[in-house]
Structures are given as C-alpha cells and as structure tokens.
Structure 1
Amino acid sequence: MRTNACPTGPTTRYAAARQPSDTVTTVADQERPGTAAAPTAEHGRLGLALILVAAFMVVLDFSIVNVALSSIQRELGVSAATVQWVVTGYAIAFGGLLILGGRAGDLYGRRRLFLAGIAVFTAASLAGGLARDPVLLIASRVVQGSGAAMVAPAALSLITTGFPEGPRRTRALGLYGATASVGFVAGQVLGGVLVEFLTWRSVFLVNVPVGLAALLLAPRTLRESRSPRTGRHLDASGALLITLAVGALVFAVSRGGGTGIGSADVLVPLALSTLAAAAFIANEHHHADPLMQPALLRLHGLRSAGALMLLLGLWNGGEMLVLSVYLQQVLHMSPLTAGLTIAPQGVFGLATGLLGARLARHLGIQKVLVATGAAATIGFAALTRLPGSGGSHLPLAAVTLVGCGTAGMAFGSMVTASAGVADRDQGLVGGVINTSRQLGAAIGAALLPAVADAVDRTRHASTAVGDRAAMLAGLAAAALATLVATNAWRRSRHDAVARCAPRA
C-alpha cells in the first residue's frame, strides 16, 4: 500500500530534505531489477575516522604546498613559472581523474581503490620529499594527484554506501564536509609551521607515516563495497574523453592567471576540452554501458549540488590564496602568522560540520544550504572592506562566517547529491561532486588573484584595493550559490505540495 507523507513538522522536514523531489527511482531499479536493495553494512567509528583522515590528507596537500613554493624555487634554482607546475600538475591530475576514479571504485571495489590510491599517494609523497630535480618533483606531484583522484571519490562513496540514507549518513557526511573544509585551511597553517621550522621537503614527507598507517588499518576497519559487475565493464572511451576534457579545462584555467585568457596556453586547451566534452556526450548516448547513466544527469539534486560545489570551490580556492598574500604583503605577517590568522575559518567550519546533522534534522537540508550560503555571502561582504594596515579584527570576524558557509555548503551538497542514488552509482557521484569542487578551486585560484592584480596594476599594493575587489568576486560566487540553494528549496517545497495534493 502506498501512502503520501506530507512534510508538516520537524520530523518530516528531514525526510523531505533527504529525498530530492525529482530523484529518479529507476536509477536504483536499474541496479537490481525486481528486488529490494540490500541492507547496508555500516563502518565502525574507527573506519569512519580512517576515511576522514585520508580525505583530509588529500585536500591538505592541495594547499600545503603553496607556502613552500618560494623555498622550492630557491633551493632547486628554477623560475617562478616552473615551480608553479608543482601546484598545476597536482591540480590537473586530481581534477581530471576524479570521475574515472569514482566509477572504477563502483566496478572494482571502493575499498580496493581507496587502498590503491593511498599507496600511490604515499609513494609519490616520498618521491617528492626526496626529489633533487624539478622534473622529478613535478612528476611526483602528478602521480600524487592521480592517487588523490582515487582516494577522494572512494572515501565519499564508502560513507554513502557504508551508512544507510538518513541521520547516520547525514552525520557522517557532515564530518566529511567539515574535514575537507578544514583541510584547505590547515594546509596554510601546517605548511607555514613545517617550512619555518623544518624544510619544504617536510610538506611532502609528512604524508608518508599517515599513509602507511592508513594502509595497515584500512583492511581491518573498512568493509569492501562494490556494485554487481554482471554484464558491466569500464567505459574506457568515455573515461579517456572525460579525463581529457576536465584535465584540459583545469590546465587552461590554471594558466589563465599567468598568461592571460587570450594566450595560446589558454585557448588551445579550452578548444581541446570543448571537443573532448562533446565527444564524451556523444559516446555516452551510444555506449551500451556508459560511464555516466543518462538517468543520473536528470537528477535535479545532483545537478544543483554540482553547481553549488563548483561555486564553493571557486570562492574557497581563490579566497585562501588572496588572503594569504594579503596578510603577508599588505599586513606584513610571516607565513606562519598568516596561516594562524586564517585558522579560525577552519575551526568554525569544523563546528558547522559537527552541527550539520542536527541543523538538517530541525531545518531540512535545503534551508541549511540557504543559511550557510547567506553566511558566506555576509562574510565576503565584510572582506570587501579589508583594511590597508594592521589593527583591525575585521578579517577574523569575516573569515569565520566564510568558514561556516563553506563547510555547511559542502555538507549539504553531498547529502543532496547522494540522496536517492543507488549504491552502484555512489562512486561516480563522489567523482562528480569532487570534480566540481576541484574545478571551481582551479577557477578561483586563477580568477581572484587575477582580479586583484588587474585592479592593483596602477595602484600601490599596500592600499589593498585589489584584494577588496577579489573579495567582491568571491561575494558574487557566494551570492549566486545562495540563489541556487534558494531555488532548490522552493522547488522542493513546490514538489512536496504537489505530492500531497489529492489525486483524482
């Protein structure tokens, strides 16, 4: 017997938020036609902690290297353009391979890919820390990014398949979102500490003991999770095309800040990315077992979550870079002091993630997205008034709001994206969500500093006018994310009312 549950109170608000109104149930039906979904085997606390540590490690490495670039350039005797490839190489491999990593986990085992990714990441970290040649260092960063592209979607899908949809999964995703947000901030702080008191090599070598510990503990604490492979195989052509499309786009964005958007370094990879994306779409429509099922692309929850994560990555990646430079060049702080000044953003982000499940239970996940988007917008509005000298606590108050908004948006987007999706596709969903965020981070890291440089080109750097303009660009991204979240909230309310209306 089928019943219509109308959201009328706090207990049903959460249920409505869990299941986006237009989630296509046939995605789940395709997994086991005519049968009920198998019960989910939950990971223990130690298993969840291990997943969170691994996710923290790969996100941390995206920002921890920024503080060490000057030291690397001096010791290895390379140009600024060459040393930038230490960041760009990681970003291209990480962003380009995430969707492939997510689908490979679905097919071949999420724990297996998780372990393989940690092994690759750890070995590459060791190679990078011991590198005496810039080519070897850059190559190790590319391999490191490849390992991270296996770990990130596998970690997220181990949570979404290891906890049944509901409060326990929401709580776990809250912790995951907070961990990822803290990782970006912690990279600035930890990188400053390691470079100031040890050497730039320590920013790579710090991953090695953590990775080895994870490799020892994962087989004992995590259950294997994979989809039935009967009649299924990896869409190699689709995987190659989407990797080429995303990788070329990340490269173009990364180069745009240094060479200008009209240069061949930007236009050629953009054209290549466009062609690869078009070929990927054509391939998916004709392939017997496509990398991405067309039904998934019709899910409004996944589409809106991808857009939110793209915007979140844009403001987060750009803001962290611009603020770090601002604090050191305008307020004349040391790298360590600058990192500690930004640290409250991570602390408040962690608190938001810890409270996320409770907020979702009382407000509904769509309201959480709207509220945290508004918090980030207000924070950026305050940052548009950055002082030109020391003595103001305005950045501290502002970054705490941005931290709350970043963690809450990440958490809410992951809950929305994974809701109603069959276990067989959770790895792919993890790849899509992580790709959106990393692509946004690449755009933000190129766009916001470019805005600051363009405004400051004819002004004195200490006026911070360019940095304020960059924060205005971050405000625009946060405000747009709030509008997207508000539209999704209105849509969910409209569809909930439609479900509850009497039928003829």
Structure 2
Amino acid sequence: MTLAESARPDSAARPADPRRLAALVLLCAANFMVILDAQSVIMGVPVIAADLGLSPVEAQWVLSANLLTFGGLLLLGGRAADLLGRRKLFMAGTALFLLVSLLSAVATAGPLLLAARSLHGVSAALMAPTALAILTDTFPEGRPRNRALAIWSGIAALGATIGLLLGGALLDWFGWQSLFYVNVPVAVLMLVLSPVLLRESRDTSAHRTFDVAGAVLSTAALVLLVYVLVEAPAWGWASFRTLGLGAVFLVLTATTIVVERRSAAPLLPARLFRSATVLGGNVLTVLIAMLAFGSSVVLSQYSLGVLGYTPIVFGLSQSAMPVAAVLGAYAGQAALARLGIRPVAVTALLLMAVGSALLTGLSPDSGYLTSVLPGLVVFGLGLGIGPVVLAAAALKGVTTADAGIASGINVAAFQVGGALGVAVVSTVIATTMAATPGPAGALAGFHTGMLVCAGIGAAGVVVAFFLLKNAKRGQLAAVPRVH
C-alpha cells in the first residue's frame, strides 16, 4: 500500500450515503446557528448591560466568557468526538446549546447570564468541530468535499450578516431575550433529525483512551491564550500581566509538546503536522480569521460610531460582503479542483489584502457606491474563497480516526486568529486615536486599522506561497496513517 493510499480517509472507500445532502443541510444549520448567535449577541450587549445593570467590564464578559470556553475546549471536544462518537457528541452539544439558550433568555442577573454564556461556549466547542468532522467523514476527499465545504462557508458568511439584521430587528421588536429564544426551535429540530440523517462514526483504532495530561495542558494553554488576547488591549501589550501570562502560555505549550511526544495515545498526534499542507492550512486559517474579525472591528466601530448607523442599517450596508463571500465560496471550490490549493489560497489572501487597502479611504464624505462597496465586494470574494481552500488543506489526507481532532484544530485556529485580530486591530485603533485626539484621530485610527488588515493579507500571500508550495493539483501532501 502506498503512502497516499494509506492516507486516504476511510470515507473515500464507502459508497455515497443517499442522505448526505440532507445531512449537509443539518450540519450547515448547526454552524449557521452558532455564528448567528454570536453575531446577534454582539448587537445586544449594550441593551443587555443596561437592563441587567452590568458594568462595562461585565458587559464585555458577555462576549468573552463564550469566546474563552469555545476557543479553549475545541481540541478536547474534537478528540472526544473521535473516541466517543461524533454524532453522539454533536447531539450532546446541541442539547446543551438548547439548554443554555433558555437559561440565557430567562436570566435576571448578570452572574447567571455570564454562567450561561460560558456554557454556551462549551456547547459550541462540541458542535462546531464535530459538525465539520461529520462533514469530512460523509463527503469523500476531492470535488464532493470541496463542494460541501463551499456550502458550509457560504452559509457561515450569510449567518454573520443575518445575525446583524435579525439581531437588530429582534432587539427593536421583542427585547434582548428573543435573541436566545430564537435558538430553541432550531435546536429542537436538529435534535430530532440528527439520529435520522447523521451516521455515527468514531476512531476504531486500538487506542480508545483519553490523553488526560495532554487534554488538561492543551486546554489550559488555549484558555490562557484566548484570555490574554481578549484582555491585552486593556492591560497593555507590554504590561507585566500580559507578558507574565504570555510566558506561562509558552511554558504550558512547551510542556504539552513534551507530554504529547511521550504519550501512547496523544490528544494532538504529531502525524497531523508532518504534512506541510495541513500545517499551512491551519497557519493561514489564523491569518484569515485575523482579517475577518479585524476588519469587522473597524467597519462596525466606524459605521456605528462615526456615521451613526443603526444596527439594521449597518447590517444592510455590509450585506454586499457576505453575498460576495457566497459567490467566492463556490468559485473557490471550482478553482480548487482545477488549480490546486496554493494558487487559490494566494488569490484569496490577495483579494482580502486589496479589499482592505480599498477600505483605507473611508471618510464621512465618501460615497457608499464608490468608496465602500468595491472594497466590501473584493474583500468578501476573498473571505468566501479562503475558508474553503484552507479547510480543504487542513483536512487533506486526514484519516477518519483523526477527523474530529483535525477539525477541532482548524476551528481553534480560526477562533484564536479571530481573538488575535480583534486584539491587534483594537489596540492599533486606540493607540492612533490617543495620539491624535478629536475627529481626525478617530478617522486616522480606522484608516490605520484597515491598513494593518491589508498588511496581514499581504503577509498571508507570502506565507501561502511558501508553506503550500508542495500542495499542487494531483500532488497534495499526505499524512501517514498511524494507529
């Protein structure tokens, strides 16, 4: 058996499941709801804080508590799905998502809401990587999986904008509790349909035990990293607290590597990172997420703060981006089959860099059609292409046994990249505004923020060119299958 054959996922050898299109709709619905919830709650934080009497720090933790548990538990959730069963863990995450949505909706005090949002992150850490792992197992590598990933990415892009529109409408008409109640019927439907549409899959290899030490260390490292990224803009990047916790993170990471190398059944198998394609896909996912979240910070603060847009108007003004992202996702999967990973990844990052550069000219006097729309469309095309090609790269050659942890790594890369993008861009904006007070400083801060995004995109082009150099059409790097 050749290396390429041994690297081929088990799903490639099975006949196509006739339910797989319906299963894809269900999996995309789960991804859609996770993103919809996150975006709509962002819109609702000011109203929630006023109603529950939350301080500015407590209000921030309505978002950060979810981000912390979501990002910190992704790897553990992915590996647990591999060992215990992906459908089982997906349904457990969905059931928890239903419960915490109800708890959030009936919360009458800040601590209860913050506890519910922390548990929401746990549910998302079970749902998101498990759904992607089930998709990987259901659709064989190549054109079928690329098309499925294109739909997955396109639905995610729509969820981001619909979250802004729906969140604004629900807040205006029914109050902030409706942001959580809307999740309930969808979660119930997913629980009913999952046993019917989703096939159970798990790691059938000999090692059916948890790597407890690796799980604890890697989870602690991820939680600490996300926490530092969330708080660093307020603490200061050069503060003792930021640098001290950063050093602790490095120690935890180094210890995790040593423990994983010695483990008989590691949480993070080294074989996953022997492929430059898999490694490159995850590194570039971090950069794509930095661009996506960083640009969102600039555009939302500029539109709501400088232009005075209402949430609904802001959502409508940004709608061109997800529409372009849907088109980009489908174009990306078609180009992926013809050109291979590296050219498509370079194109995606280049489009996002150019789109960011076009948006550096924002000003209150700018016309939407001439100064804003072109940048949103170009950026959106790259945003649609990027996740498709990078998910394909990050899951290339991954066996069925490792589908959950590989998906968890990729989703974790996106979450960490998002937190890093928000932290970096927020710091740049604040620093620039402090150096130049007044309206001119605010505008300069937003311009500099988009310029940083353009620089991240340009750096991503270079990284993609070198890290994905072996990911050619018909000659993609393989991951050895080792049990």
TM class by shorter chain equals over 0.9
**CA distances 1:355-385 after superposition (whole Å, capped 9, x unpaired):** 3322222332322211121111110010111
Give the drift of 1:265: 4.7
Contact 1:186 1:346 in 2 (8 A): no
TM-score (norm 2): 0.92
Alignment-derived partner of residue 481 in structure 2: none
Contact 1:40 1:162 in 2 (8 A): no
SS at the partner of 1:491? coil
**CA distances 1:122-153 after superposition (whole Å, capped 9, x unpaired):** 21111111111101101101100000001111
- Counterpart of 1:299 (choices 275, 293, 308) is 275
Task: Give the partner amino acid of 2:199.
Answer: R
SS at the partner of 2:102? helix
SS at the partner of 1:360? helix
Give the drift of 1:26: 9.2
- Counterpart of 1:233 (choices 192, 205, 209) is 209
1:62 pairs with 2:38: yes
Give the drift of 1:187: 2.5
Structure 1 residues 47 and 440: alpha-carbon distance in aligned structure 2, compared to 1, 3 A threshold: same
Task: Give the partner amino acid of 2:251.
Answer: L
Contact 2:12 2:141 in 1 (8 A): no
- Counterpart of 2:307 (choices 306, 331, 337) is 331
Give the drift of 1:229: 4.7
Task: Give the partner amino acid of 1:187.
Answer: G
Structure 1 residues 497 and 280: alpha-carbon distance in aligned structure 2, compared to 1, 3 A threshold: closer
1:475 pairs with 2:454: yes
Contact 2:362 2:447 in 1 (8 A): yes
Structure 1 residues 185 and 270: alpha-carbon distance in aligned structure 2, compared to 1, 3 A threshold: farther
Give the drift of 1:118: 0.8
- Counterpart of 1:466 (choices 445, 448, 451) is 445
C-alpha root-mean-square deviation of aligned residues, in Å?
A: 2.4
1:146 pairs with 2:122: yes
- Counterpart of 2:380 (choices 400, 403, 408) is 403
Give the drift of 1:171: 0.5
- Counterpart of 2:50 (choices 52, 71, 74) is 74
Give the alignment of 1:95-244 within 5 angstroms. Answer: 95-244=71-220
Worse-matched range after superposition: 288-297 or 242-251: 288-297
Alignment length (residue pairs):
474
- Counterpart of 1:413 (choices 368, 390, 400) is 390
Distance 1:238 1:215 in 2: 31
- Counterpart of 2:464 (choices 475, 481, 485) is 485
Alignment-derived partner of residue 375 in structure 1: 351
- Counterpart of 1:39 (choices 11, 14, 18) is 14
Alignment-derived partner of residue 340 in structure 1: 316
Give the drift of 1:109: 0.8
Alignment-derived partner of residue 418 in structure 2: 441
Contact 2:289 2:417 in 1 (8 A): yes
**CA distances 1:382-414 after superposition (whole Å, capped 9, x unpaired):** 011111335333222211211111121111001
Alignment-derived partner of residue 480 in structure 2: none
Distance 1:221 1:173 in 2: 18
Distance 1:268 1:479 in 2: 31
Alignment-derived partner of residue 405 in structure 2: 428
Distance 1:405 1:411 in 2: 10
Distance 1:357 1:453 in 2: 38
- Counterpart of 2:226 (choices 245, 250, 261) is 250
Distance 1:37 1:360 in 2: 18
Contact 2:470 2:476 in 1 (8 A): no
Distance 1:306 1:53 in 2: 24
Give the drift of 1:112: 0.8
Distance 1:205 1:49 in 2: 22
Contact 2:351 2:381 in 1 (8 A): yes
Alignment-derived partner of residue 501 in structure 1: none
Contact 1:252 1:267 in 2 (8 A): no
Structure 1 residues 340 and 283: alpha-carbon distance in aligned structure 2, compared to 1, 3 A threshold: same
Give the drift of 1:113: 0.8
Distance 1:359 1:494 in 2: 10
| Structure 2: unaligned runs, 5 residues or longer | 478-483
Identity of aligned residues (%): 33
